[in-house]
Amino acid sequence: MKPAGLAQGFLAADRLGEGITLALFAYISFVPFYYLEPLTLGAQVPSFVFLRYLPLLLAGSLAGLWLVGLWQHRRSLRRLGAEPWAILYMAVGLLSLVSAAYPGIGLAKWVYYHGTGIFLGWLLTQSLTNRLASHRLVRGIALVAGLCATYTLLSHWLGKDWLWEEIKRQNNPFYGGTWRAAAPFGNAVSTASYLSLCGPFICWEAWRRGPLLRRLVFAAFALVALVVILLSQSRGGWLAACTAVLATTLALAWQGCRRQSRGRVATATLGGLLFLSVVWQLLPATGLHRIFTSQIAYMEHRASLLSGSQLGRTEHYRLAQMDNVIEILSQHPWFGIGFGNYTRYFEDHRATTFAEKDSPFHTTDNMYLMFAAETGIAGLLTAIALLAAVLWRVGSRWTQLQDADKGLSLAFLAAASGFLVNMATWDPLNDPTLRLTFWILAGTALFEAIFSAGQTQRPKGI
């Protein structure tokens, strides 16, 4: 083959990888694949269902493309700096299965979770070729997330998820109707967490230079995503979104102070506050506030449940799970009860330990507690170290980039900051959609960080 034809073939393979990644993200954003079949909590490994495990197969196809490129010497391994922690964390997960009650289930989950998690994120850092490719991918992700938010808002207002209503009622034990914005995931907590992760990237697309119409479309998507987060009634989602906004504000303020542009930072802050105050004053005059009257009442009620005097009554399940994890650590301090074993462990013990015998919940409702329960103190420490290493890698590169190139890294830092806080309110990395979303965004941001370290020219044609 001539060199020109060979180069075109390589380019086509690279674009195919981007297309598969975007198709994977669109699939997990619009298809409740985990609930297409009834959940099974037996002692055996769940049977193979093609549509449920399609994300793993797509991740495998990406790996195949990358291996072909590596074999043809089109690829070279990129060092991220976080690999030792990732290997150590996964090794601890395997060690925890040595004395686990259900090693088969744990091993199957270990492969599935990491194949659609850490490995997928690492694979993206190796597969993307240049910043143009990463920016195209992020734009597609922001577009899909914006459309998902729009569909969720329409479904919430119309009172019906036209695509998946019946399937969710049959197979999703967490589905509680449409009084909370939850489509198409069928879980309001997942919806709020997903949009809190994707929201900063949607805002970045609205902020970037480009055609005015495109920026207005993404600005509208960002507003819709914020409304959906509010209407989800998810307190963890609210906390994640607020943390993301706070992280962005602090980062920009720190950058402004370093560059001696305090006046511009102060002007922008005052301008933003003035804009919000004007909108707040004009909202009653438009009558739009009536649409949210009942929702605001719900939000006030949900927020009041977190008061100290009510925690013992409203959050008794979470408090009971904390006691349960402490008991587990007293018996299995270093490696826990085994990776992926908590669901079965809880199913076996809850009849004598918990009052909610018919509850569909089988988790700790806290990702950090889940790390500790399943993989012990060693797993908790290595998991925190891995997440810290990812944020450190992106954050350290962010400080070295030119102002015009900081946006994508800042979007990830903001999203990840909110996600880390959100992990204290439930276990999102055990949710397949959230796990895939986080590691796709993390892989793209890590690629941007390592690729941009020695680059000064910005990509054109975006």
Flag whether pLDDT at 309 surpasses 70.
no
Task: Give the tens place of pLDDT for each residue, 312-358.
Answer: 555 667 777 788 888 899 999 999 999 999 988 877 766 555 544 44
The whole-number average pLDDT for the span 83-109 is 94
pLDDT in the model for residue 10 = 47
pLDDT in the model for residue 461 = 39
Does residue 8 sit within a domain?
Answer: no
Does residue 59 sit within a domain?
Answer: yes
Flag whether pLDDT at 177 surpasses 90.
no
The whole-number average pLDDT for the span 389-410 is 80
Does residue 308 sit within a domain?
Answer: no
The percent of residues above 90 in pLDDT, for the chain, comes to 44
Distance CA 166, CA 137 (A): 32
Task: Give the tens place of pLDDT for each residue, 268-296.
Answer: 566 656 655 665 565 565 555 555 565 66
pLDDT in the model for residue 459 = 40
Structural domain of 240: 16-35+45-265+322-452
Task: Give the tens place of pLDDT for each residue, 409-454.
Answer: 899 999 999 999 999 989 999 999 999 999 999 999 999 888 765 5
pTM, to two decimals: 0.87
Does residue 58 sit within a domain?
Answer: yes
Flag whether pLDDT at 174 surpasses 90.
no
pLDDT in the model for residue 318 = 74
Confidence of residue 457 (pLDDT cuts 50, 70, 90): very low
Q: Which residue reads 């439930």 in tokens?
A: 426
pLDDT in the model for residue 355 = 46
Around Cβ 427, how many Cβ atoms within 10 Å? Answer: 19
Flag whether pLDDT at 360 surpasses 90.
no
Confidence of residue 27 (pLDDT cuts 50, 70, 90): very high
Does residue 189 sit within a domain?
Answer: yes
Flag whether pLDDT at 22 surpasses 90.
yes
Flag whether pLDDT at 23 surpasses 80.
yes
Tell me which of 279 and 196 has the higher pLDDT.
Answer: 196
Does residue 311 sit within a domain?
Answer: no
Burial class (CB in 10 A: 0-12, 13-18, 19+), 219: middle
- How much is the mean pLDDT over the chain? 82
The percent of residues above 70 in pLDDT, for the chain, comes to 75
Does residue 287 sit within a domain?
Answer: no
pLDDT in the model for residue 352 = 54
Does residue 272 sit within a domain?
Answer: no
Task: Work out whether the CA dihedral 419, 423, 429, 432 comes out positive or negative.
Answer: negative
For the chain, what is the domain count?
1
Task: Give the tens place of pLDDT for each residue, 242-259.
Answer: 899 888 877 777 666 555
Distance CA 333, CA 59 (A): 34
pLDDT in the model for residue 315 = 62
